[in-house]
Amino acid sequence: MTQKRVAIDKVRNIGISAHIDSGKTTLSERILFYTAKIHKIEEVKGKSGVGATMDYMDLEREKGITIQSAATYTEWNGYNINLIDTPGHVDFTIEVERALRVLDGAVLVLCGVSGVQSQSLTVDRQMRRYKVPRVCFINKLDRAGANPFRVSDMIRDKLKLNARLITYPIGLEDQHKGIVDLVQMKAFYFDGDNGENIREAPIPDDIKADCQKYREEMIAAVGDLDDVIAEKYLAGEEPTVDELRQAIRRTALSLQFAPILCGSAYKNKGVQLLLDAITYYLPAPFEINNKALDQDQGETEIVLKSDPKLPLVALAFKLEDGRYGQLTYMRIYQGTVKKGDFIYNIAAGGKKVKVPRVVRMHADEMNEAEDAQAGDIVAIFGVDCASGDTFTDGNVHYTMTSMFVPNAVISLSITPKERSQEVNFSKALNRFTKEDPTFRVHRDEESGQTIISGMGELHLEIYCERIKREYACEVVTGQPQVAYRETINNKAEFNYLHKKQTGGSGQFAKVIGFIEPIPEEETKDYEFVNKVVGGSIPREFIPACDKGFQEAVKEGRLIGFPITRVRCVINDGEYHDVDSSEQAFKTASIMAFRQGYEKANPVVLEPIMTLETSAPEEFQGTVMGQVNQRRGIIMNSETNEGYVIVLAEVPLAEMFGYATDLRSATQGKGEFTMEFKRYSPVPRNVQEELVKKHQEKKAQERK
């Protein structure tokens, strides 16, 4: 299906995000079916073995989870909808991050039984970070224990959203028959094998009063924010359907209100009303303030206009290495790009590249396009770049702000099983680090091992499996290692003289100053401050001091992990006309830092994870006991429909093997999700143990 070109106010760029297993991919499948993009519905864990359209990787279909975000485009009632289905698992959070960076609106899906879960909070934070307006969809109303009213309260209490139901369910659980639209005050039933025939009917008498109550709540909430509705409300008049829709749209776009819809994607109920809501309440590309920095004007911030006639500005937000070379997903913010055009990569110093092909993606299918205009999301072949690069047509030098990339928390050593597979092994690692900014690779100089780092055990496990499948390379992995950090607790001074006399010119440099911890509210990991006055260190040697400190913080003296949250200040020093050099000042700074570090009360920091465990109520004591044994702190526990949900903060180091322990202790019924929260100092006895192990390892390597 080729996409007809429509006016830009009829374009919607939306993402579907949620906690794992809330039904995002099932919902995407229904959207594609009702918009006639596909002609048969496949389930995520379908018996046919085909799997959902948007889960096109074999691994996704086997595990029944989404690993990579998938893009598609479709049409609904004259609107073009570009849709990205994102993973729910926290290990693939970068996929959600980069999708939300380029989308104009989002659908936040929540389970009608579980409601707001740990990953719902993360997705909500990501939506707020990029100021993305959203509609909420309470899914799975056909399941036992479904309660959209409780979930609606949770959205207000836990996510602190001003959100109200704009649809109301006709029956719940196995009695879930249809949906009432509270804006039109009409009931809708979804007939046919796949709910494709929409039947309009009067609201059943037994729920009329409730529908009226929830409608009034919605009008009051919108009226508090919108003058048109407020005037009608105060005058005791009923707003028209059109007035109400426009007011909900205005308040949703200003991020002050979030409409809540409900239904069951699996049972084909309420999805068409959600599609209508996407067109009514989510923004067109020109209604969002997309900012860029003008490099010609000293990085002045400017607002881009979604106009196809203006100079091109596009952001490469995702890379995929396919069978035919690199596929670069791009969001066009301004201007037009055609097949055969020359475009310039501003991030790579204005490198000129030709656009060989423009395609619109439908999961893993490619549909050729002649051009792409402001507001479009397309993929371009054969353009070499990195994720987050900005492209223009050469008439402007703008760069878009990049996306937030979280730190890796877990590492493991990896080697190919056979020496003959080393070429494929390094090809795979090069490709995956380019595609995924949270997947990092480095070589441990001391042990000579290749170390991969990522967001969690599943993240690294999936990449090891992909190396095996896609590159026919079996790998051997070591034990998972926690990504510790080191920091200092106190301010400490240094005064270091580096003096070396060998034949010819010697080396001379003296640096004086102090190191101090950076407070947590400042989000920097490292800062260099030059307070040298009177030229005691010449200006040309100051950058060498900064380089020396940066070198020193790469490896801590306690357990050899990077040092974080430290400010290095130099305020005095000495130099020699002949013997001073950049190298001398760099070396002096490294040694000065080490001198100060010993006195600054250094500590080891470990990643603390937010852990959410759910299990049948009879296992509550066992689940809590397991968390306590793992140095966990229980923050909250609540029961819901016979299940207990325990929220805790636990050190990542204690979480290896938790999945097996939890399953065996709960007869296989326990589930958990885990997400990085913060770095925190380890207890003194744990630190002593880690330092001892590090010293033993060093001694072993010296032998």
Whether the pLDDT of residue 701 is over 80: the answer is: no
Q: What CATH number does residue 214 fall under?
A: 3.40.50.300
Q: How many alpha carbons lie under 13 Å from residue 44 in its C-beta half-sphere?
A: 20
DSSP secondary structure, 255-297, as one string? TS-EEEEE-BTTTTBSHHHHHHHHHHHSPPGGGS-EEEEEGGG
Query: Residues 359, 492: one domain?
Result: no
The band of 509, judged by pLDDT with boundaries at 50, 70 and 90, is: very high
Query: Residues 538, 580: one domain?
Result: yes
Alpha helices in 305-393 (DSSP H): none
Residue 356: partners with Cβ closer than 8 Å, 6 or more residues away: 339, 340, 381, 382
Last residue within a domain, chosen from 600, 620, 642: 600
The band of 66, judged by pLDDT with boundaries at 50, 70 and 90, is: low
Whether the pLDDT of residue 61 is over 80: the answer is: no
Query: Residues 159, 245: one domain?
Result: yes
For residue 689, give both structure tokens: 């143990």
User: What CA–CA distances, in Å, run from 664 to 363, 509, 642, 657?
Assistant: 38, 62, 19, 11
Query: Residues 313, 277: one domain?
Result: no
Give the pLDDT confidence score for residue 516 in this predicted structure.
95
Q: 676 is in which domain, residue-wise?
A: 606-685
Residue 199: partners with Cβ closer than 8 Å, 6 or more residues away: 188, 189, 190, 191
d(CA 328, CA 317) in angstroms, rounded, equals 8
Q: How many residues does the chain have?
A: 703
Give the pLDDT confidence score for residue 167 in this predicted structure.
95
- The CB density around residue 175, as the number of other CB atoms within 10 Å, is 10
Judge whether 493 lies within some domain.
Answer: yes
d(CA 671, CA 518) in angstroms, rounded, equals 38
- The CB density around residue 287, as the number of other CB atoms within 10 Å, is 15
Is the separation of the CB atoms in 194 and 200 below 8 Å? Answer: no
Give the pLDDT confidence score for residue 49 in this predicted structure.
42
d(CA 90, CA 113) in angstroms, rounded, equals 20
The angle subtended at Cα 305 by Cα 73 and Cα 393, nearest 5°, is 80
Q: Count the domains in the chain.
A: 5
Is the separation of the CB atoms in 211 and 203 below 8 Å? Answer: yes
Q: Running DSSP on this structure, what letter comes out for residue 525?
A: S
d(CA 8, CA 306) in angstroms, rounded, equals 8
Q: What CATH number does residue 341 fall under?
A: 2.40.30.10
Judge whether 40 lies within some domain.
Answer: no
Whether the pLDDT of residue 53 is over 80: the answer is: no
- The CB density around residue 366, as the number of other CB atoms within 10 Å, is 17
521 torsion bin: left (phi>0), alpha (psi -120 to 50), beta (else): alpha
Per-residue pLDDT reduced to its tens digit, 16-28? 888 877 888 788 8
Give the pLDDT confidence score for residue 46 in this predicted structure.
46
Query: Residues 110, 249: one domain?
Result: yes
Whether the pLDDT of residue 398 is over 60: the answer is: yes
Query: Residues 246, 133: one domain?
Result: yes
Last residue within a domain, chosen from 371, 400, 429: 400
Q: What CATH number does residue 585 fall under?
A: 3.30.230.10
Query: Residues 267, 208: one domain?
Result: yes
The band of 416, judged by pLDDT with boundaries at 50, 70 and 90, is: very high
Tell me which residue of 435, 438, 432 sits closest to 466, measured CA to CA: 432
Name the least confident of 247-256, 478-487, 510-519: 478-487
Judge whether 477 lies within some domain.
Answer: no
Q: What CATH number does residue 617 fall under?
A: 3.30.70.240
Does this model's pTM top 0.75? My answer is: yes
Please state, rounded to an integer, the average pLDDT across all residues of the chain.
Answer: 87
Whether the pLDDT of residue 442 is over 70: the answer is: yes
Judge whether 667 lies within some domain.
Answer: yes
Give the pLDDT confidence score for residue 254 in this predicted structure.
93
d(CA 116, CA 107) in angstroms, rounded, equals 14
Of all residues in the chain, the percent with pLDDT exceeding 90 is 45
| Residue 375 C-alpha from the chain's centroid | 22
Name the least confident of 59-63, 228-232, 393-397, 689-693: 59-63
Residue 262: partners with Cβ closer than 8 Å, 6 or more residues away: 112, 137, 138, 139, 141, 148, 165, 167, 168, 169, 179, 270
Whether the pLDDT of residue 289 is over 50: the answer is: yes
Judge whether 72 lies within some domain.
Answer: no
The band of 585, judged by pLDDT with boundaries at 50, 70 and 90, is: very high
Give the pLDDT confidence score for residue 2 in this predicted structure.
52
Judge whether 24 lies within some domain.
Answer: no
Last residue within a domain, chosen from 567, 600, 633: 600
d(CA 531, CA 509) in angstroms, rounded, equals 17
Query: Residues 593, 639: one domain?
Result: no
Give the pLDDT confidence score for residue 50 in this predicted structure.
47
The band of 490, judged by pLDDT with boundaries at 50, 70 and 90, is: very high
Judge whether 65 lies within some domain.
Answer: no
The angle subtended at Cα 210 by Cα 204 and Cα 215, nearest 5°, is 105
Query: Residues 396, 436: one domain?
Result: no
Give the pLDDT confidence score for residue 47 in this predicted structure.
40
Tell me which residue of 266, 213, 227 sits closest to 26, measured CA to CA: 266
The band of 503, judged by pLDDT with boundaries at 50, 70 and 90, is: low
Tell me which residue of 201, 182, 202 sits closest to 190, measured CA to CA: 201
Query: Residues 635, 587: one domain?
Result: no
For residue 203, give both structure tokens: 């609201």
The band of 12, judged by pLDDT with boundaries at 50, 70 and 90, is: very high
Per-residue pLDDT reduced to its tens digit, 534-583? 889 999 999 999 999 999 999 998 998 999 999 999 999 999 888 889 99
Judge whether 66 lies within some domain.
Answer: no
Higher pLDDT, 14 or 348: 14
Give the pLDDT confidence score for residue 1 in this predicted structure.
46
Q: Report helix, strand or coil for 598.
A: helix
Query: Residues 303, 367: one domain?
Result: yes
Give the pLDDT confidence score for residue 600 in this predicted structure.
94
Per-residue pLDDT reduced to its tens digit, 321-355? 766 677 888 899 999 999 889 999 988 788 888 88
Per-residue pLDDT reduced to its tens digit, 190-235? 988 888 899 999 999 999 999 999 999 999 999 999 898 888 888 8
What element of type H or E holds 347?
A: none
The angle subtended at Cα 418 by Cα 416 and Cα 420, nearest 5°, is 105
d(CA 52, CA 61) in angstroms, rounded, equals 8
Higher pLDDT, 502 or 148: 148
- Average pLDDT for 429-458: 85
d(CA 559, CA 688) in angstroms, rounded, equals 10
Residues 122, 125, 129, 132, CA torsion sign: positive
Query: Residues 336, 429: one domain?
Result: no
For residue 494, give both structure tokens: 């240094």
